[in-house]
Structure 1
Amino acid sequence: MIDLQEAIRKERTTRGLSQEQLGGLIGVSASTIGSYESGRLIPVRALAKALDGVFETGERVQRLAAQARGLSIAPFLRSWAENEAQASMLRSFQLSVVPGLLQTEAYARHVLTDIGPVDDIETALANRLARQEVLTRAENPAYFVAVLDRSVLHRQIGSPDVMVEQLTALVAACDRPNVRVHVVPATAGAYAGLNGPFALGSVHDRWVGYLDTHLGGEPIDDPQQVRRLERAWEDVRSYALPVAESRDMIEKAALTWS
Structure 2
Amino acid sequence: MRSRELDPSASPLDYYGYELRRAREAAGLTLAQLGSIVFCTGSLIGQIETAAKVPQRDFSERLDAALGTGGLFSRLVGLVLRSQLPSWFQPYAEMEAKAAYISTFQAQLVDGLLQTEAYARAVLGVRNESGLDTRVAARMERQRVLEREHPPAVWVVLSEAVLRQEVGSREVMREQLAHLLTLRERQWLNVQVLPFEAGAHAGLMGSFAILRFDRDPDIVYTEDFVQGHMTANPQPVREGSVRYDQLQAAALSSEDSAALISRMMEGRYGNEPEPGGRDMA
What residue in structure 2 maps to residue 187 of structure 1?
197
Q: Confirm or deny that 1:127 pairs with 2:138.
A: yes
Q: What CA distance in whole angstroms lies between the structure 2 residues aligned with 1:198 and 1:68? A: 26
Q: Are the aligned partners of 1:161 and 1:257 in contact in 2 as well (CA < 8 Å)?
A: yes
Question: Partner of 1:238: helix, strand, or coil?
Answer: helix
Judged with a 3 Å threshold, the aligned counterparts in structure 2 of structure 1 residues 32 and 241 are, in CA distance, closer, same or farther, namely: farther
Judged with a 3 Å threshold, the aligned counterparts in structure 2 of structure 1 residues 48 and 160 are, in CA distance, closer, same or farther, namely: same
Structure 1: which amino acid aligns with 2:224? T
Judged with a 3 Å threshold, the aligned counterparts in structure 2 of structure 1 residues 158 and 56 are, in CA distance, closer, same or farther, namely: same
Gaps of 5+ in 1: 24-28
How far 1:33 sits from its partner (Å)?
A: 5.7
What residue in structure 2 maps to residue 26 of structure 1?
none
Q: What CA distance in whole angstroms lies between the structure 1 residues aligned with 2:171 and 2:89? A: 30
Question: Partner of 2:69: helix, strand, or coil?
Answer: coil
Judged with a 3 Å threshold, the aligned counterparts in structure 2 of structure 1 residues 66 and 39 are, in CA distance, closer, same or farther, namely: farther
2:81 to 62, 69, 89: 69
Post-superposition CA distance 1:153-174 (Å, at most 9, x none) = 1111001111111111010012
Percent pairwise identity: 30
Q: Structure 1 or 2: larger helix share? A: 1
2:53 to 14, 19, 40: 40
Question: Partner of 2:263: helix, strand, or coil?
Answer: helix
What residue in structure 2 maps to residue 102 of structure 1?
114
Q: Confirm or deny that 1:163 pairs with 2:179.
A: no
Q: What CA distance in whole angstroms lies between the structure 2 residues aligned with 1:88 and 1:232? A: 20
How far 1:70 sits from its partner (Å)?
A: 3.9
1:197 to 207, 211, 229: 207
Q: Scaled by the length of structure 1, what TM-score is found?
A: 0.86
Q: Confirm or deny that 1:253 pairs with 2:257.
A: no
Q: Confirm or deny that 1:147 pairs with 2:160.
A: no
Question: Partner of 2:125: helix, strand, or coil?
Answer: helix
Q: Are the aligned partners of 1:202 and 1:208 in contact in 2 as well (CA < 8 Å)?
A: yes
How far 1:56 sits from its partner (Å)?
A: 1.6
Q: Are the aligned partners of 2:110 and 2:162 in contact in 1 as well (CA < 8 Å)?
A: yes
Judged with a 3 Å threshold, the aligned counterparts in structure 2 of structure 1 residues 11 and 141 are, in CA distance, closer, same or farther, namely: same
Q: What CA distance in whole angstroms lies between the structure 2 residues aligned with 1:32 and 1:257? A: 42
Judged with a 3 Å threshold, the aligned counterparts in structure 2 of structure 1 residues 67 and 94 are, in CA distance, closer, same or farther, namely: same
Q: Are the aligned partners of 2:38 and 2:59 in contact in 1 as well (CA < 8 Å)?
A: no
Structure 1: which amino acid aligns with 2:164? H
Root-mean-square deviation over aligned CA pairs: 2.6
Gaps of 5+ in 2: 1-6, 9-14, 271-281
Count of equivalent residues: 250
Q: RCO greater where, 1 or 2, for CA within 8 Å and sep 6 or more? A: 1
What residue in structure 2 maps to residue 243 of structure 1?
254
Mapping of 1:215-226 within 5 angstroms?
215-226=226-237
Query: Could you tell which deviates more after superposition, 91-100 or 54-63?
Result: 54-63
Q: Scaled by the length of structure 2, what TM-score is found?
A: 0.79
Judged with a 3 Å threshold, the aligned counterparts in structure 2 of structure 1 residues 186 and 156 are, in CA distance, closer, same or farther, namely: same
Q: Are the aligned partners of 2:38 and 2:62 in contact in 1 as well (CA < 8 Å)?
A: no
Query: Could you tell which deviates more after superposition, 73-82 or 236-245?
Result: 73-82
